[in-house]
Structure 1
């Protein structure tokens, strides 16, 4: 029954004209690069450098992971102001610096004019 209603809502827009698709595809494929009316693709050697240049100003978020702790949902909902969560990592150990979910460096916590900072001590490649 829900499928009947969906068909009514979609109407003629859901029909696929295979001939129209093939014509458009053939038109795009007519040029040597496969992209009619566009510049040819850069050579393989230039492509990685061009991609790096294009991405150079994209902002990324660095996350400093000081430690992790697994607790139950019950323990989570019982937390209140003033409670201390003990982390498995020793207080003087370096922190992990993560970008996009990937570890990229390790660092030590430092004071930077009253704000918390991280001095990089090792870069992970």
Structure 2
């Protein structure tokens, strides 16, 4: 059986535990705290599926021009041929890559990781 905590019980636990929720966290730890902190196993997160897309390029065109497109039309994009392409994970820029072919399948060779890497994915 599980019991639910009331707001009063929760406040008591926070106050008795010496937690000050009004105190801002600056993300710094002293050496003693850092050695006492247990290592967190993050392998669970490796099982979460994410959506990886390759963005070749983009452009902005007026709707009128888009409505006049037929099968022989060419839309000029904003990247030069040979420029690295954007790899996005769940819509956030993750890396720059070039397209390769391996055993008849397309693949991506990562040529540059973005400065924030996976940090942008948590937003």
Q: TM-score, normalised by structure 2?
A: 0.58
- Structure 1 residues 114 and 79 mapped into 2: Cα distance closer, same or farther (>3 Å)? farther
Equivalent of residue 76 in structure 1, options 66, 69, 81: 66
- For structure 1, the 5+ residue unaligned runs are 1-22, 35-43
Q: TM-score, normalised by structure 1?
A: 0.57
Please state whether the residue corresponding to 1:74 is helix, strand or coil.
Answer: helix
- Structure 1 residues 76 and 45 mapped into 2: Cα distance closer, same or farther (>3 Å)? farther
Q: Would you say 1:90 and 2:80 are equivalent positions?
A: yes
Richer in helix (by share): 1
Cα deviation digits, residues 63-119 of structure 1 (max 9, x gap): 111111110111222222232222121111111111133221111111223332211
Aligned to 2:7: 25
Aligned to 1:118: 108
Alpha-carbon distance between aligned partners in 2 of 1:30 and 1:69, rounded to the nearest angstrom? 54
Select the structure of larger CA radius of gyration: 1
Structure 1 outlier segments of 4+, above 3 Å: 30-34, 44-47
Q: CA RMSD in A?
A: 2.8
